[in-house]
Amino acid sequence: MTAVSGTVPVRQTRFPRRTMLFAAAVLLLHFIAAQALDAAGLVESLLSPNGDRLLWVLPLAILLYTLRFAVYFVIPGLVVGSLLGWRRDASRARRTNEEQTAPLSRSE
């Protein structure tokens, strides 16, 4: 869609779908890692003298706590920032569109 001559074309704003999908994927991975760590028995493997199970439980625990950090601190800021940017772009596009379609005033 082109605008009136001399102005910039209006860009359609899109909902930040990729950001929301990324946030949902991180939340899902966090849930899966928490369930797997619960099923593996993190505390029991840390307290047991056998180190074989600890070799794969410890990296899973590190993954879980990294995902938990992202879920609690990174993802909320990413989602809020993305939504605020989308809202700003949408209002800017709407305002530009209204200015372009407004009837011209005739001087008398």
Identify whether 4 is part of a domain. no
Identify whether 12 is part of a domain. no
51 to each of 33, 40, 64, 92, how far by Cα in Å?
20, 13, 20, 59
> Is residue 51 predicted with pLDDT exceeding 50?
yes
> Is residue 106 predicted with pLDDT exceeding 80?
no
Question: What pLDDT is attached to residue 104?
Answer: 63
> Is residue 87 predicted with pLDDT exceeding 80?
yes
Identify whether 33 is part of a domain. yes
Question: What pLDDT is attached to residue 105?
Answer: 62
Domain limits for position 61: 17-97
- Per-chain mean pLDDT for the chain: 83
Mean pLDDT of 16-27: 94
Identify whether 51 is part of a domain. yes
Identify whether 32 is part of a domain. yes
Identify whether 2 is part of a domain. no
Number of domains in the chain: 1
Identify whether 87 is part of a domain. yes
> Is residue 66 predicted with pLDDT exceeding 90?
yes
> Is residue 61 predicted with pLDDT exceeding 80?
yes
Identify whether 104 is part of a domain. no
